[in-house]
């Protein structure tokens, strides 16, 4: 009797596998890459014209690292539109504003130097300047970004504190779980799509923000395996155990030969086994391979 049960269970398992259709399209290209990675991977990809999409762990809340600076930029522009801040307002850099990590303000600017809020936003995005980020947060407040994102339906996209200033956290639990910020790939793709469509702040503000994203100087993740010259508007993030990148990849339209926004993509990694701060970090390569797979899928043949 026991052997009959075992055979029956095995037969049912084989039948279930036989009934499962093989992966196709984006899933067939991306899922194997994510599976090979030693760490957790979440992916979101969506074509901005056809709507074709693929999500892997798309609703899982993950650490953002510096990727959270993208919604911070959106909030800064929104508050400028509302008259709460002025992008041309001058900010004076103080000695105790300086924090370590990426950027140029800490090592290259003296206390007493001044810069416009607009320039602080640009440094925050193009060079991921941590000191500039905190200057922006001083103007718009830490909670404002999360409140705004929730208002537009992105309830898991939040910044929890200033950079390297853990005592400023507004949510100790989320800070403990995710560090500086948190989001999902689905929400980040939605935010990118809204910016692309001019649906946040104003169309003009969206154009300015897209231009800033297009000047990101970190090309070690999404961009690195794409064909030379491929235009990408994106924001990256890096921590020991988490590497992230999200943006919009442009393709040349064969009909009119113009380069146009094609697809939004977000890749979040966490719990990475490889925590080396080197160009060929495994998570960075995984992100690059996933971006190239999406590019190959959407690019005109």
Q: Higher-confidence residue: 95 or 8?
A: 95
Residue 26 main-chain phi, psi, to 5 deg? -60, -40
**Residue 128 shares a structural domain with residue 175:** yes
Res 19: pLDDT? 61
**Residue 73 shares a structural domain with residue 130:** yes
Q: Which residues contact 215 (CB under 8 A, 6 or more apart)?
A: 122, 125, 126
What are the Cα distances from residue 68, in Å, to 31, 89, 253, 274, 293?
25, 23, 31, 22, 25
DSSP H or E stretch at residue 283: helix 282-298
**DSSP bridge pairs for 62:** 183
Contact 252, 225 (CB under 8 A): no
**Residue 234 shares a structural domain with residue 148:** no
**Residue 54 shares a structural domain with residue 188:** yes
Helices assigned H by DSSP within 94-243: 105-108, 117-126, 130-140, 143-151, 172-178, 185-197, 203-213
Mean pLDDT, residues 251-265: 88
Q: Of 123, 156, 180, which residue sits at a domain end?
A: 180
The Cα 157–Cα 188 span in angstroms is 8
In a domain, 121, yes or no: yes
In a domain, 127, yes or no: yes
Q: Which two tokens stand for residue 62?
A: 């993950």
For residue 149, give the CATH number of its domain: 3.40.710.10
The Cα 79–Cα 118 span in angstroms is 12
Mean pLDDT, residues 59-88: 98
pLDDT in tens, 103-141: 999 999 999 999 999 999 999 999 999 999 999 999 999
Which of 229-234's residues contact partners 24+ apart within 8 Å by CB, and which partners?
230/295, 231/259, 233/261
**Residue 72 shares a structural domain with residue 204:** no
**Residue 212 shares a structural domain with residue 224:** yes
The Cα 36–Cα 20 span in angstroms is 21
Q: Is the pTM higher than 0.85?
A: yes
In a domain, 10, yes or no: no
| Average pLDDT of the chain, as a whole number | 93
Res 260: pLDDT? 87
Res 255: pLDDT? 79
Helix, strand or coil, per DSSP, at residue 56: strand
Domain that residue 157 falls in: 66-180
Q: Of 145, 180, 215, which residue sits at a domain end?
A: 180
Q: What confidence tier does 241 reach under pLDDT thresholds 50, 70, 90?
A: very high
**Residue 49 shares a structural domain with residue 190:** yes
In a domain, 234, yes or no: yes
**Residue 294 shares a structural domain with residue 191:** yes
**DSSP bridge pairs for 90:** 116
In a domain, 165, yes or no: yes
In a domain, 11, yes or no: no
CA-only gyration radius of the chain, Å: 21
In a domain, 15, yes or no: no
Res 1: pLDDT? 45
**Residue 149 shares a structural domain with residue 227:** no
**Residue 233 shares a structural domain with residue 132:** no
Tally of structural domains, the chain: 2
Q: What confidence tier does 7 reach under pLDDT thresholds 50, 70, 90?
A: very low
């Amino acid at each position: 009797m026991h052997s009959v049960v075992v055979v029956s269970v095995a037969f049912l398992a084989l039948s279930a596998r036989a009934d499962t259709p093989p992966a196709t399209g984006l899933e067939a290209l991306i899922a194997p890459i994510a599976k090979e990675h030693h760490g957790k991977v979440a992916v979101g990809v969506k074509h901005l014209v056809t709507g074709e999409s693929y999500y892997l762990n798309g609703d899982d809340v993950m650490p953002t690292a510096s990727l959270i600076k993208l919604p911070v930029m959106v909030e800064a522009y929104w508050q400028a539109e509302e008259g709460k801040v002025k992008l041309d307002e001058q900010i004076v850099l103080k000695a105790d504003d300086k924090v370590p990590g990426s950027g140029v303000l800490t090592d290259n600017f003296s206390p007493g130097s001044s810069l416009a809020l607009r320039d602080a936003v640009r440094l925050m995005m193009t060079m991921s300047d941590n000191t500039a980020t905190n200057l922006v947060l001083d103007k718009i407040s830490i909670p404002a970004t999360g409140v705004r994102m929730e208002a537009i339906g992105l309830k898991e996209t939040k910044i929890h504190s200033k950079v390297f200033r853990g005592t400023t956290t507004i949510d100790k639990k989320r800070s403990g779980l995710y560090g500086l910020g948190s989001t999902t790939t689905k929400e980040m793709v939605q935010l990118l799509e809204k910016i692309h469509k001019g649906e946040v702040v104003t169309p003009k503000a969206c154009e300015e923000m897209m231009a800033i994203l297009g000047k990101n100087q970190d090309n070690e993740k999404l961009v690195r395996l794409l064909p030379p010259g491929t235009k990408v508007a994106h924001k990256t993030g890096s921590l020991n155990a988490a590497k992230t990148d999200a943006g919009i990849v442009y393709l040349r339209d064969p009909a009119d030969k113009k380069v146009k926004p094609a697809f939004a993509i977000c890749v979040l990694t966490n719990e990475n086994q490889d925590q080396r701060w080197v160009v060929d970090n495994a998570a960075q390569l995984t992100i690059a391979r996933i971006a190239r797979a999406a590019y190959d899928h959407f690019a005109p043949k």
